Amino acid sequence: MRRKENVTDFLERSGRNYSEAGRFNVYKVDEFYKGNSSPLIRRDYYKISLICKGEGLLSYADKSFHIKDNAIIFGNPMIPYSWERISEKQTGYFCMFTEEFIHHQLKSKKLSESPLFKVNGNPVLFPSQKSMDLMVGIFEQMLVEITAAYTNKYELLLNYVQIIIHEALKMSTPENINATSSSSIRITELFLELLERQFPISSPQHILQLKNPGEFAKQLSIHPNHLNKSLKEVTGKTTSIHISERIINESKDLLINSNWDIAEIGYCLGFEHASNFNIFFRKHTGQTPNHFRRQMIDGNNN
């Protein structure tokens, strides 16, 4: 099955020299990509892409964004996504960086609300032309600094990334930012981060430790009702729905990308008996795991 992609994997997949891998990289889209798309996989790095010209489809497990010109996209290690090119000609910039690059300033209270770090936030924003002009200038400057011999260049690059994040925060409307209490937002972010930390499942011996609302609430030291209320306030979904949707997404990934049998997949996802996993999967997808797997294999072979 597919594992997490790291920076070196990404560079090699894109036909670049792996020696370029580092804690921070920045490129021009048209000089880097030569017509290839990106698969639906989880990365272990952060990525900020500024699309100036071009059209494509950004897809997550549960939603897709059709993007055409003037867009900024934030990717983080917790959410798998894919990019399908629609137009042949695409221009813009992107920078990618690892957890090692991130300074406490990037995860400060204010910047933690940005699309870069919010697990349930909006990863795609559509800047005004004024904002686009500003960010194009920042990316151009980052391209200059990345090759400079300046000793403290990574601190300078970090400051440029901060400016981009602040510009993204300015695009968020005040009513959306203040619609929910800071307590509910924080609880939601902690829950979603705790949920995502359990994935991907890398072997049949890797068994989910937290499987129900009570276990998550205990880990967060709050009452299950308080957790549920916070999640509904921020996301509109209950704790159980979040857990079920994430388990379904992982089970689909395992059915497609592993050769494990149904009982093994169900067991590592918290189901002691294959029959319980079958019932759960069918309830949420309308088909059995076996039928889903056969359907996907047949579709890939056609």
Q: What is the pLDDT of residues 164-186, one digit of tens each?
A: 999 988 886 544 444 445 678 87
Residue 281: pLDDT above 90? Answer: yes
Instruction: Identify whether 288 is part of a domain.
Output: yes
Instruction: Identify whether 39 is part of a domain.
Output: yes
Given pLDDT bands bounded at 50, 70 and 90, which one contains residue 109?
A: low
Domain count for the chain, please give it.
2
Residues 169 and 24 in one domain: yes
Residues 247 and 137 in one domain: no
Q: What is the pLDDT of residues 286-302, one digit of tens each?
A: 999 999 999 988 876 65
Residues 167 and 18 in one domain: yes
CATH of the domain at 288: 1.10.10.60
Instruction: Identify whether 2 is part of a domain.
Output: no
Name which of 97, 102, 75, 116 is nearest 26 in CA terms: 97
**Between the CA of residue 229 and those of 4, 121, 134, 242, what are the distances in Å?**
33, 18, 40, 13
The domain boundary residue, chosen from 177, 194, 226: 177
Residues 152 and 25 in one domain: yes
Residues 137 and 198 in one domain: no
Residues 216 and 120 in one domain: no
Residues 202 and 277 in one domain: yes
**Measured in Å, how far apart are the chain's first and last C-alpha atoms?**
21
The domain boundary residue, chosen from 150, 177, 204: 177
Residues 73 and 122 in one domain: yes
Residues 294 and 240 in one domain: yes
The domain boundary residue, chosen from 177, 202, 225: 177
Residues 277 and 255 in one domain: yes
CATH of the domain at 134: 2.60.120.280
Write out the residue range of the structural domain in which residue 135 sits.
7-177
> Residue 28 has which token pair?
């021009």
Residues 223 and 265 in one domain: yes
pTM equals 0.62
Peptide bond into 200 cis (omega under 30): yes
Q: What is the pLDDT of residues 53-104, one digit of tens each?
A: 999 988 876 678 889 899 999 988 877 788 888 888 899 999 999 888 887 6
Residues 147 and 212 in one domain: no
More confident: 225 or 188:
225
What pLDDT was estimated at residue 183?
A: 79
